[in-house]
A = this chain, B = another copy of it.
Amino acid sequence: MDKTQDSKSRSIRGIVPENHPRRESILVRERLVEAMEREVVVPQGLIAQGRGECFDYLIGEKTRDFAERALEVAAVLLIEAKNPVISVNGNMAALVPREIVELADAIPAKIEVNLFYRDEIREKAIEKVLREAGAREVLGVGEDASETIPELFSQRRRVSKRGILSADVVLLGLEDGDRTEALVKMGKKVIAIDLNPLSRTSLTASVTIVDNVIRAIPALREKVLKMKSLSREEREKLLKGYNNRDVLRGAMKFMSERLAQLSLDL
């Protein structure tokens, strides 16, 4: 088949009616499809987006109290970390580039590109997106990703010496389970943003924010600013009272009850 056809845009951004019941959701999808055409997102990232959409639908597309609790503790961990790093993949760069930079500035934290499907074209495309969104430094691109973490089979193992390798707290969004496990085994605190409370990432992370990155990243910045005004004792109390399994159970229970309610309304 003629390969020149591959680059043809399939975007329907311009033709989604203003009154379409799923307009917002469709426009987010289109943002990812366009990002794939710019090499920022890979096809597998689109499938991951779809899985997320389903779980987001089940929580009613809102930041719920189980996410609020995780956001508060995540903010405390990030503020108190010696070397906090925000790990960015293609989907996050496509969906919330400016919000990532604003969060990194508020903490402050480093930003590192980390990809399952790593190649230099993608790394640089994502770096470009982040720099255009205001990032002054982007780790994990090219030679900077020269260190490795023990892992099963993906290019996720390649990390920056000043970034994820030496980080004590790592914030991940939309991640694979193998990588989360590897980072936790290295003794790092891992904060995951994952809409699926049943994923290995969710079950393995130190703190799991069951929410859409589109809402969670700006909400996390708000919590960081708020937690900065708390005393060390108040923060300590939040950390001590936190149980990630309870949060995941809360998310699953919420989804279960919502489905039961929707079935009654049918």
Contacts and interface: CB of A to CB of B under 8 A. Distances in A.
A209 interface: no
Copies, count: 2
Contact of A48 (B1, B50, B263): B50
A260 B266 contact: no
Report whether over half of chain A's contact residues are helix, strand or loop; otherwise say mixed. helix
A42 B6 CA distance: 10
A95 to B, nearest CB: 13
A181 B153 CA distance: 45
Nearest to A195: B54
A52 interface: yes
A203 B263 CA distance: 12
A253 B263 contact: yes
A52 B50 CA distance: 8
A39 B198 CA distance: 33
A55 B54 contact: yes
Interface in A1-51: 1-7, 10, 12, 15-17, 21, 29, 32-33, 36-39, 42-44, 46-51
Interface stretch (A140-148, A159-167, A244-252): A244-252
Given A17-B152, A153-B15, A47 B44 contact: no
Given A152-B17, A198-B57, A198-B262, A43 B47 contact: no
A43 B125 CA distance: 19
Nearest to A248: B266
Given A47-B47, A50-B52, A259 B266 contact: no
A53 interface: yes
A196 interface: yes
Interface in A114-146: 117, 121, 125
Contacts of A153: 15-17
Contacts of A54: 50-51, 53-55, 196
A155 to B, nearest CB: 10
The 6 closest A-B pairs by CB, nearest first: A50-B50, A54-B54, A252-B263, A256-B259, A46-B46, A47-B50
Interface of A: 1-7, 10, 12, 15-17, 21, 29, 32-33, 36-39, 42-44, 46-55, 57, 117, 121, 125, 152-153, 196, 198, 200, 203, 245, 248-249, 252-253, 255-257, 259-260, 262-263, 266
